[in-house]
């Protein structure tokens, strides 16, 4: 848990993708997240968290469905949404958080 706190406590936005290997929509999100990272490069950090392997963390952030995306800035949650989002939606949300 403390390592996760270090990861999300950055000056740049940190987008956390809570996902599961068995989840179809999560597989859809992977290439979208890669495009977002390619676009924003060092202006965002993207972290993938497998809810099956990190159940305590998923419970702490009340992740009920996957994929759930949570955006952190300086360790604080600034946005979250479940389900698949398009690249442009994510780019706009992350840019606003910067």
Q: Per-residue pLDDT averaged across 13-25, rounded?
A: 97
Check 26, 29, 58, 71 and give the catalytic one.
26
Q: Per-residue pLDDT averaged across 73-97, rounded?
A: 96
The domain of 62 spans: 1-97
Domain count, the chain: 1
CATH number at residue 29: 3.40.30.10
Give the span between the Cα atoms of 36 and 53, in whole angstroms.
Answer: 25
Check 7, 12, 23, 78 and give the catalytic one.
23
- According to the model, what pLDDT value does residue 98 have? 82
Q: Give residue 62's region: left, alpha or beta (phi > 0; psi -120 to 50).
A: left
Asked about 23 being catalytic, the answer comes back as yes
pTM of the full structure: 0.95
| Beta carbons within 10 angstroms of residue 45's beta carbon | 16
**Is a pLDDT exceeding 80 seen at residue 2?**
no
């Amino acid at each position: 848990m403390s390592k996760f706190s270090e990861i999300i406590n950055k000056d740049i936005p940190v987008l956390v993708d809570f996902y599961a290997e068995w989840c179809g929509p999560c597989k859809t999100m992977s290439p979208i997240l890669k495009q977002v990272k390619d676009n924003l490069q060092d202006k965002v950090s993207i972290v993938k968290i497998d809810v099956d392997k990190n159940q305590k963390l998923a419970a702490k952030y009340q992740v009920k469905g996957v994929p759930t995306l949570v955006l952190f800035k300086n360790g604080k949650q600034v946005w979250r949404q479940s389900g698949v989002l398009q690249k442009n939606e994510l780019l706009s949300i992350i840019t606003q958080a910067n």
